[in-house]
């Protein structure tokens, strides 16, 4: 809302700006104050995501508290505001100090609307010689009004007097609106609304009323007739003070026997006549609506409406159907909430939730509220940044903790894997040790089987051929046995020959045979024997032995000159490889394995029948 300015003795407060209409920079918590001549009503409300939420309601009876002067009232009110906390205050200006007017303007620009409304406010009776504060808001078309505006205005002096009487000059005042506007806003936020509604705030000295059509307020007025008229009548009839009469009125049903008081019914009838007159006058001004008094939903609020038997008495005197305002504010049920409808509607105006927002807040308070809202915005931004930093740090901490937990898990898994590897290594070592222990036995058994299979293969190739075998020895023995003379003395040259040719030994046998045939036939026979022996599964390779590797170990009596041949029979690989260490970087374990000699030759058995070591 733009700041107020003076033009033609008018304090101009234009219609609510975008900021006010959309609730931007509005307070989050507010104390709504509904001042009356005999009672002050305070309502603490908070703005939440679902709307306004009432936190506390409190009513102060000035007569009961003994508060008479303005100084006493303002001092007591200041203490109550401190109890509610540091919250801005929204004031409901009594309706008899304000005017709410419905005006119809031709469609025009916002600047022209402001100029026309300023001109109209100057023409209002009794306000031409003083500064006034006003505000307006557009309404939806209804009846004969095609471009209606809801105008609220008051004398600036009246507004300042009310603020000073309540001691709010130095307070954090954030909103001022007429009490009828608060009443209309409270009705607009309740469920079960009717097409036509008559809202009545029955106070001590004044009765404020508002008419709502299709959910929007179109009429507001104040009648100088309140519940004190009943108190004065009771005091006069019973001859007591007004304080005693007030207590009697609150505790007894003065409208019916046995506590009926003469004259009270007449006062109620006069009040109904005043009220019906205002309603009928409005109906006459709007014949296009075709409204009747019985069409209105009539809701009573205010402390005077809670008198025992008052509603029943009114329904017996009028065709209007009176009912108390339900004990709910919006959709929030609160015990005794019907008395705080005006205060609740004023809080809605402060929160920017009113459908017909009009503000009479003075310029100095408006500027203070703007500065306060800027400070709130800065604080909110700072708090948001702080929360953002906290969230970022929390997320970072959470991420680091997650990584730490992940690393701990991986470390635990790694330790478990290392332990399992150590266990596996221990088992492997045990298996390898056992294997090394059994490997020589297994290899000797395998060698024995291979020897038998080799003998069987030789026996097979010998069949149906004119040849005979004169020697069958394993290669290790064949190449490592020294050549002996008849005197069993080994010469130096012979020893040198043994050492030189020892590396020729392989895993296999040497077989010598005689083929008593001519050279060509013997060569073919020998080739056939080699071919057939190669087909045996036990041999890896079969070939003739080179002449330089020959050892004259066979019995000379069995040999034919130039008819003897030597064969190298290499066995297939053993199924029992050398054991290896399965653990990386484990110290090598030296395995000393005793090499047992192969089968002894015929000559060895002849020269050394005992089987002991051969004599050199």
Residue 30 phi/psi, 5° resolution? Answer: -145, 150
Question: In the structure encoding, which two tokens stand for residue 405, read together?
Answer: 């937990």
Q: Which fold has domain 1-190+329-361?
A: Nucleotidyltransferase; domain 5 (3.30.420)
Report residue 187 as tokens: 């009705």
Candidates 122, 616, 88; CA nearest to 361 is 88
pLDDT given for residue 409 in this prediction:
93
User: Bigger pLDDT: 606 or 469?
Assistant: 469
pTM to 2 decimal places: 0.60
Q: What is the pLDDT of residue 595?
A: 40
Highest mean pLDDT among 74-78, 279-283, 483-487: 279-283
Pairing of strands 89-93, 29-35: parallel
Task: Please report the pLDDT score of residue 10 as a whole number.
Answer: 36
The phi, psi pair for 324, rounded to 5°, reads: -75, 150
Checking if the pLDDT of 613 tops 70, the result is no
* pLDDT value for 607: 52
d(CA 10, CA 123): 11
Render pLDDT for 157-183 as a digit per residue (tens, 0 to 9).
888 888 888 888 766 788 999 999 999
Q: Do domains 1-190+329-361 and 192-325 have the same CATH topology?
A: yes
Extract the tokens encoding 186.
């409270």
Q: What is the pLDDT of residue 423?
A: 93
Specify burial of residue 30 (Cβ count, 10 A radius: 0-12, 13-18, 19+).
buried
Three-class SS of residue 295? helix
- The most confident of 35-39, 267-271, 433-437, 467-471, by mean pLDDT: 267-271
CA distances from 124 to 93, 118, 157, 183, 613 (A): 19, 10, 16, 24, 149
Q: Is 12 helix (H, G, I), strand (E, B) or coil?
A: strand
Q: Which residues pair with 200 in a beta bridge?
A: 209, 300
Q: What are phi and psi of 38, to 5 degrees?
A: -125, -5
Asked whether the predicted pLDDT for residue 411 surpasses 60, the reply is yes
Overall average pLDDT of the 479-507 stretch: 52
- Is residue 404 predicted with pLDDT exceeding 60? yes
The reported pLDDT for the residue numbered 474 is: 87
Assign 3 a pLDDT band (cuts: 50, 70, 90).
Answer: very low
> Residues 53-81: what's their mean pLDDT?
83
Give me the pLDDT at residue 65, please. Answer: 76
Q: Is the pLDDT of residue 372 over 80?
A: no
- Higher-confidence position of 68 and 421: 421
Q: What is the pLDDT of residue 503?
A: 53
Q: Say what the pLDDT of residue 304 is.
A: 84
The pLDDT confidence band at residue 498, using thresholds 50, 70 and 90, is very low
Per-residue pLDDT at 220: 94
Query: In which residue are the tokens 């937990």 written?
Result: 405
pLDDT score for 577: 63
Cα–Cα distance list, 333 to 190, 328, 337, 350, 373 (Å):
11, 4, 8, 21, 31
Domain ranges for the chain: 1-190+329-361, 192-325, 440-607
Q: Distance between CA 471 and CA 509 in Å, rounded?
A: 10
pLDDT score of 2 more than 80: no
What pLDDT does 483 receive? 56
| Residue 112, phi then psi, degrees to nearest 5 | -70, -35
Q: Which of 255, 233, 257 is nearest to 246 (CA)?
A: 233
- Tell me the pLDDT band of 124, cut-offs 50, 70 and 90: low
Report the pLDDT value the prediction gives residue 582, as an integer from 0 to 100.
Answer: 40
How many degrees, rounded to 5, is the angle at CA 529 between CA 523 and CA 533? 145
Average pLDDT rounded to a whole number, residues 26-36: 87
Cα-flanking dihedrals φ and ψ of residue 303, to 5°?
-65, -30
Report the candidate in 587, 590, 579, 589 with the shortest Cα–Cα distance to residue 440: 579
Rounded to the nearest 5 percent, the helix, strand and coil shares of the chain are: 45, 20, 35
The pLDDT, as a whole number, for residue 72 is 83
Would you state the structure tokens that stand for residue 513, as one six-digit string?
């045979």
Q: Tell me if residue 573 falls in helix, strand or coil.
A: coil
What is the signed CA dihedral for 378, 379, 381, 383, rounded to 10 degrees? 160
| Residue 74 φ/ψ, nearest 5 degrees | -65, -35
pLDDT at 28 exceeding the cut of 80: yes
Whole-number pLDDT of residue 129: 53
The 3-state secondary structure of 448-474 reads: HHHHHHHHHHHHHHHCCCCCEEEEEEE
From edge to edge, which strands make up the β-sheet containing 132-138? 5-6, 11-12, 132-138, 148-155, 99-104
pLDDT at 594 over 60: no
Nearest to 254 by CA among 304, 202, 327, 326: 304
The strand pairing partners of 176, in sequence order, are 91
pLDDT of residue 277 exceeding 90: yes
- CATH fold group of domain 192-325: Nucleotidyltransferase; domain 5 (3.30.420)
Report the half-sphere exposure of 194 (CA within 13 A, side-chain side): 13
In this model, does residue 593 exceed pLDDT 50? no
pLDDT of residue 178: 94
Which of 219-228, 399-408, 496-505 has the lowest average pLDDT?
496-505
Q: What average pLDDT score do residues 390-416 get?
A: 93
% residues pLDDT > 70 (the chain)? 83
Q: What is the CA radius of gyration of the chain?
A: 61
Least confident of 80-94, 211-225, 269-283, 583-597: 583-597
Segment among 113-122, 298-307, 395-404 with least mean pLDDT: 113-122
Which is more confident, 196 or 66?
196
Q: Residues with Cβ < 8 Å from 146, sequence gap 6 or more?
A: 104, 107
Non-local (6+) Cβ contacts of 20 within 8 A are: 1, 26, 352, 357, 359
The whole-number pLDDT of residue 349 equals 92
Q: What is the rounded average pLDDT of the residues 16-31?
A: 56
User: What are phi and psi for residue 543, nearest 5 degrees?
Assistant: -155, 160
Q: Please provide the average confidence, as pLDDT, over all residues in the chain.
A: 81
Q: Is the per-residue pLDDT at 497 higher than 60?
A: no
Q: Are 359 and 177 in contact (CB under 8 A)?
A: yes
Name the residue with higher pLDDT: 605 or 277. Answer: 277
Give per-residue pLDDT as tens, 312-354: 999 999 999 999 998 888 777 887 788 899 999 999 999 989 9
pLDDT band, very low/low/confident/very high, at 81 (cuts 50, 70, 90): confident
For residues 260 and 266, what is the distance between their CA atoms, to the nearest angstrom?
Answer: 12
Helix, strand or coil for residue 103? Answer: strand
For residue 492, pLDDT over 80 is answered with no
Helix (H, G, I), strand (E, B), or coil: what is residue 562? coil
Torsions phi, psi for 154 (to 5 deg): -160, 160
């Amino acid at each position: 809302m733009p700041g107020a300015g003076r033009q033609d003795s008018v304090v101009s407060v234009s219609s609510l700006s975008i900021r006010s209409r959309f609730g931007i920079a509005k307070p989050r918590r507010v104390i709504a104050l509904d001042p009356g001549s005999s009672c002050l009503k305070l309502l603490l409300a908070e703005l939440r995501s679902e709307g306004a939420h009432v936190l506390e309601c409190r009513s102060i009876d000035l007569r009961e508290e003994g508060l008479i002067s303005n100084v006493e009232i303002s001092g007591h009110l200041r203490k109550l505001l401190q109890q509610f906390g540091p919250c801005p205050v929204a004031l409901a200006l009594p309706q008899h100090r304000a005017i709410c007017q419905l005006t119809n303007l031709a469609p025009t620009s916002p600047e022209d609307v402001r100029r026309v409304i300023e001109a109209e406010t100057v023409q209002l009776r009794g306000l031409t010689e003083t500064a006034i504060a006003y505000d307006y808001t557009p309404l939806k078309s209804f009846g004969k009004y095609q471009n209606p505006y809801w105008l609220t205005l008051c004398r600036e002096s009246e507004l300042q007097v009310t603020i000073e009487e309540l001691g709010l000059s130095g307070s954090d005042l954030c909103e001022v609106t007429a009490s009828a506007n608060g009443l209309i806003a409270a009705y607009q936020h309740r469920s079960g609304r009717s097409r036509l509604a008559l809202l009545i705030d029955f106070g001590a000295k004044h009765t404020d009323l508002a008419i709502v059509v299709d959910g929007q307020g179109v009429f507001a007025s104040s009648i100088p007739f309140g519940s004190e008229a009943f108190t004065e009548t009771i005091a006069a009839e019973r001859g007591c003070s007004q304080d005693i009469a007030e207590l009697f009125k609150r505790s007894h049903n003065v409208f019916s026997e046995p506590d009926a008081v003469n004259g009270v019914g007449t006062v109620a009838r006069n009040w109904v006549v005043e009220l019906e007159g205002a309603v009928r006058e409005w109906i006459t001004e709007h014949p296009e609506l075709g409204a009747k008094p019985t069409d209105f939903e009539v809701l009573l609020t205010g402390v005077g409406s809670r008198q025992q038997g008052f509603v029943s008495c009114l329904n017996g005197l009028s065709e209007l159907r009176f009912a108390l305002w339900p004990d709910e504010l919006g959709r929030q049920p609160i015990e005794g909430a019907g008395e705080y409808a005006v205060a609740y509607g004023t809080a809605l105006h402060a929160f920017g939730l009113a459908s017909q927002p009009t503000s009479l807040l003075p310029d100095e308070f408006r500027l203070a509220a703007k500065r306060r809202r800027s400070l709130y915005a800065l604080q909110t931004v700072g708090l948001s940044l702080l929360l953002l930093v906290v969230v970022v740090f929390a997320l970072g901490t959470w991420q680091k903790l997650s990584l730490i937990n992940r690393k701990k898990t991986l470390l635990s898994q790694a330790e478990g894997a290392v332990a399992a590897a150590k266990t596996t290594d221990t088992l492997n070592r045990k298996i390898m040790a056992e294997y090394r222990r059994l490997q020589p036995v297994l290899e000797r058994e395998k060698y024995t089987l291979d020897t038998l299979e080799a003998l069987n293969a030789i026996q097979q190739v010998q069949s149906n051929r004119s040849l005979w075998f004169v020697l069958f020895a394993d290669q290790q023995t064949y190449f490592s046995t020294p050549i002996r003379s008849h005197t069993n003395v080994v010469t130096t040259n012979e020893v040198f020959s043994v050492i030189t040719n020892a590396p020729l030994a392989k895993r296999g046998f040497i077989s010598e045979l005689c083929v008593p045939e001519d050279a060509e036939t013997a060569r073919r026979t020998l080739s056939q024997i080699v071919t057939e022996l190669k087909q045996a599964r036990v041999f890896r390779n079969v070939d003739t032995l080179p002449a330089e590797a020959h050892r004259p170990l066979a019995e000379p009596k069995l040999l034919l000159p130039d008819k003897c041949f030597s064969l190298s029979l290499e066995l297939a690989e053993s199924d029992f490889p050398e054991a290896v260490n399965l653990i990386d970087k484990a110290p090598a374990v030296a395995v000393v394995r005793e090499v047992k000699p192969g089968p002894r030759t015929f000559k060895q058995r002849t020269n050394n029948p005992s089987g002991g070591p051969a004599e050199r």
